[in-house]
Amino acid sequence: MMQSSTTQFLFYSTSPFPRNLTYFPPQNLGFCKYLRYRQRMASFKGSRVKSQFNSGGSSDSSGGEDNFKTLIDFIGKDGENVGEDIVILISHLQYACKRIAAVVSSPFNSVLGKKGFDGSPMGDRDAPKPLDIVSNEIILSSLRNSGKAAVMASEEVDVPVWITDDGPFVVVTDPLDGSRNIDASIPTGTIFGIYNRLEELDHLPIEEKAQLNSLQSGARLIAAGYVLYSSATILCVSFGSGTHAFTLDHTTGDFVLTHPRIKVPPRGQIYSVNDARYFDWPEGLRKYIDTVRQGKGKFPKKYSARYICSLVADFHRTLMYGGVTMNPRDHLRLVYEANPLSFLVEQAGGRGSDGKVKILSIQPVKLHQRLPLFLGSSEDMEELESYGDVQQKINPGYEV
């Protein structure tokens, strides 16, 4: 059966991103000479960056501190110096995420979000959607082209894919988290984690070594990140020495450092959970939520609820503002979601837990193993866990 032109475009378009750059500021400013603009300033390492618009389009390209740093500059030899191999890998991953960002914002995604490739309606809410599959193929293609990934394990595929024998890294990913909400233009995201390939397993059959490499504990992660597709496209990453966020500049196609050395506040004032399930929760979790939203907890202010039902978006807000984001039932995947996000929040000074133990201390036994997940500020997490019984073990009326 012939694929639709939309599907062909999404799968086979290999043109560079972005296609037609419209640089800012425009060369002819006559149309806006009567308008008044507030001077816009930004900061990087405490220094000021002049707005190109207000400086008549001039910019210093000398690479000094008064310039924003791109992701590749930041992790290269003159920055964090994370190593040539991983710079190449990240370069290909960021390209894949730019392509996914373009697909997610395309007018064609509405059709793909509602129907399968054969035109049939998508029923199962957790079944892979066409956009999930497209995103998975984009990431796999980029990892193949990098030559640096031995294995890719994806939430969308039952078994990991062995890519090349000499790739030094293992990549685990949720290619497009939150895709079932895309028709409502709710933010979505890509999550990834990177491990070293276990060379001691090289003698094993391909299927076995691919599986075991992908089942490494989160404590062995060497890098992790997510990309948030929202009002801005933000790539947040850690290589084990702090968490940093980069915003996609659509005029150049670069991810630019906008949030260096993120520190999640030790305590926030926001909890994020689907509290329509309140009566399904165990007593400890109900008591915790009742206490903090009345302002009777260890922090004497009333907490607010904020819930997007998109893990990357809820987590990003928590990383910025503090508090706790959670799913108390056995729903989120340890390998593809819990481990990478726990790595990021811990590198930012927060904590990731299943409600009882540290996420990064859990040894996965299955690729698609699910568990409760609680992420957030260190003091909020400590208070939450002090209530003991916070894991939801029943799921009446809906399926995991």
Catalytic residue among 254, 280, 314, 337: 337
Q: Is 273 helix (H, G, I), strand (E, B) or coil?
A: coil
Partner residues linked to 42 by β-bridges: 49
Instruction: Give the C-alpha separation, 131 to 103, whole Å.
Output: 8
Catalytic residue among 10, 112, 132, 319: 132
Say if CB 338 and CB 373 are below 8 A apart: yes
Q: Is 132 a catalytic residue?
A: yes
Catalytic residue among 71, 93, 112, 176: 176
- The widest CA-to-CA distance across the chain, in whole angstroms, is 71
Q: Is 209 helix (H, G, I), strand (E, B) or coil?
A: helix
HSE of 295 in the Cβ direction (CA atoms, 13 Å)?
3
What are residue 332's phi and psi, to 5 degrees?
Answer: -90, 150
Q: Is 80 helix (H, G, I), strand (E, B) or coil?
A: coil
Q: Is 343 helix (H, G, I), strand (E, B) or coil?
A: helix
Instruction: Give the C-alpha separation, 48 to 37, whole Å.
Output: 18
Q: Is 176 a catalytic residue?
A: yes
Q: Is 330 a catalytic residue?
A: no
Q: Is 207 a catalytic residue?
A: no
Q: Is 156 a catalytic residue?
A: yes
Q: Is 155 a catalytic residue?
A: yes
Catalytic residue among 71, 89, 155, 254: 155
Using alpha carbons only, give the angle 35, 257, 318 rounded to the nearest 5 degrees.
95
Burial of 127 (0-12, 13-18, 19+ CB in 10 A): exposed
Q: Is 80 a catalytic residue?
A: no
Catalytic residue among 131, 177, 215, 311: 177
Q: Is 84 a catalytic residue?
A: no
Say if CB 103 and CB 131 are below 8 A apart: yes
Catalytic residue among 174, 346, 380, 383: 174
Catalytic residue among 156, 314, 346, 380: 156
Catalytic residue among 65, 126, 208, 283: 126
Burial of 242 (0-12, 13-18, 19+ CB in 10 A): middle
Helical axes 5-12 vs 130-146, angle rounded to 10°: 30
Q: Looking at the annotation, which residues are catalytic?
A: 126, 132, 155-156, 174, 176-177, 337
